Amino acid sequence: MFGLIGHLTSLAQAQSVARNLGYDEFAEHDLEFWCVAPPQMVDEVAVTSTTTGKTVYGQYVESCFLPEMLAQKRFKAATRKIINAMAFAQKRGINITALGGFSSIIFENFNLDKIKHIRNVTLELERFTTGNTHTAYVLGRQVQQGADQCGIDLKRSTVAVIGATGDIGSGVCRWLTEHTPVQELVLVARDQERLQNLRSELGGGLIQTIDQALSIADIVVWVASMGQGLDLTHENGPDRVLHIDGGYPKNMAKAPRREGVYVLDGGIVEHSLDIEWKLMNIINHVANPARQIYACFAESILLEFEQLYTNFSWGRNQITVEKIDEIGRLSVKHGFKPLLFKAADGIAL
Ligand code: NDP
């Protein structure tokens, strides 16, 4: 069995989802309540491989973490949410569980690998994966295929990665450098030393601020760990721009609304067959909840299909091009495709 540890993007959204799921006691309370709420198993998931025909089963564990806990410096509550959800998943006998969204970021930032015991559970970390290798693969493919759909010539384009020094961002940069030469790769993050190190590792790249990057980039990959998205209504980039927003919550709270700006949901895959689960319908994050799922969650599904019970993605900035290619092959094999534009999006396909 595979598992998904998820969280919602804000207190308001959490209250509304709780109401829809029939957890009225959760819906009426403020952040204080969510800080002490225990993890919940809120959905069961079934996915069938298009190649092998095998169906695998999983469980969605809601950690009850909310980004407001970090904004309000409720760090103890935030870390407890993640570690308790991991212990909960392990106790349920789940073989491989993805740490979705901020779960892996909190795990890394607060060195939660030092916590070995949670009450009567000794954490077996090999049962967990961040899912970030698959997310990096999907974003890399979205750059390649999305550019094609929007009529952007990658070889002559400037591609900016916002959050380049992060786990996913650095993986995307490595993969693009190896597989997709672009005219200029722009690296954006706040910590200058980490940016310089990444630039040396890649053998190139232009270090810029977000504003500078937006004024020149033809393609912008958003993978910054921002608790709240930016309002980019007044962005002033090239005439034709493709934004691929892989942030969770989204990095772009408000996208530019001018002609020539295309916005793609980043880090999302679409399965060729319906996925059996109710939650995506209720969360309402994706256009086609029956088929679409976050790439990090899909990584645990792929590992379950292959019975690879190992933390495929682990530790920060360890994602290699080889591992991205490997998970990419499994993704294709079992029927996942990176989300792309549809005819209904108004693009001449
Ligand atoms: P990391 O914490 O490893 O990296 C975050 C990156 O963002 C770092 O480069 C950081 O550098 C940068 N950053 C943070 N804040 C800012 C800012 N205000 N301006 C510019 N850069 C910033 O995170 P991950 O790589 O694990 O995750 C990145 C994003 O992807 C998150 O939003 C996460 O929730 C989402 N995600 C999406 C998934 C999917 O399936 N679609 C799966 C997993 C995660 P610095 O601190 O130096 O600025």
Q: What spacing in Å lies between the alpha carbon of 50 and ligand 1's midpoint?
A: 32
b vs e for 81-100, b when ≥16 Cβ sit within 10 Å of the residue's Cβ? Answer: bbbbbbbbbbeeebbbbbbb
Query: 200 vs 348, which has greater pLDDT?
Result: 200
Residue type, 118: I
Cross-strand pairs, 5: 61, 99
Q: What spacing in Å lies between the alpha carbon of 251 and ligand 1's midpoint?
A: 9
136 touches ligand 1 (CB under 6 Å): no
Task: Say whether pLDDT at 345 is over 70.
Answer: yes
H helices within the chain, ranges in order?
A: 11-21, 24-27, 31-36, 68-71, 75-91, 102-109, 132-150, 167-179, 192-202, 210-216, 279-283, 295-305, 321-333
In this structure, is the dihedral angle defined by the CA atoms of residues 347, 252, 282 and 88, taken in order, positive or negative? positive
pLDDT at 284: 63
101 touches ligand 1 (CB under 6 Å): yes
pLDDT at 125: 95
Q: What spacing in Å lies between the alpha carbon of 4 and ligand 1's midpoint?
A: 19
For residues 295 and 200, what is the distance between their CA atoms, to the nearest angstrom? 28
| Among 205, 341, 182, CA closest to 261 | 341
Taking only the tens place, the pLDDT of each residue in 228-258 is 999 998 888 999 999 999 999 999 999 888 8
Question: Residue 241 is inside which H or E element, if any?
Answer: strand 241-245
> Across residues 23-47, what is the average pLDDT?
91
| Domain parsing of the chain, residue ranges | 136-267+341-345
Total residue count of the chain as it appears in this document: 349
pLDDT at 194: 98
> Across residues 290-309, what is the average pLDDT?
96
> Across residues 298-306, what is the average pLDDT?
98
Residue type, 72: Q
169 touches ligand 1 (CB under 6 Å): yes
pLDDT at 22: 84
| Most informative mutation of 186, 207, 223, 313 for ligand 1 (most atoms within 8 A of CB) | 223
pLDDT at 27: 86
Q: What percent of the chain has pLDDT over 70?
A: 99
Q: What spacing in Å lies between the alpha carbon of 165 and ligand 1's midpoint?
A: 8
pLDDT at 11: 94
9 touches ligand 1 (CB under 6 Å): no
For residues 333 and 341, what is the distance between their CA atoms, to the nearest angstrom? 22
Taking only the tens place, the pLDDT of each residue in 146-195 is 999 999 999 999 999 999 999 999 999 999 999 998 999 999 999 999 99
CATH of segment(s) 136-267+341-345: 3.40.50.720
Are 159 and 173 in contact by the 8 Å Cβ rule? The answer is no
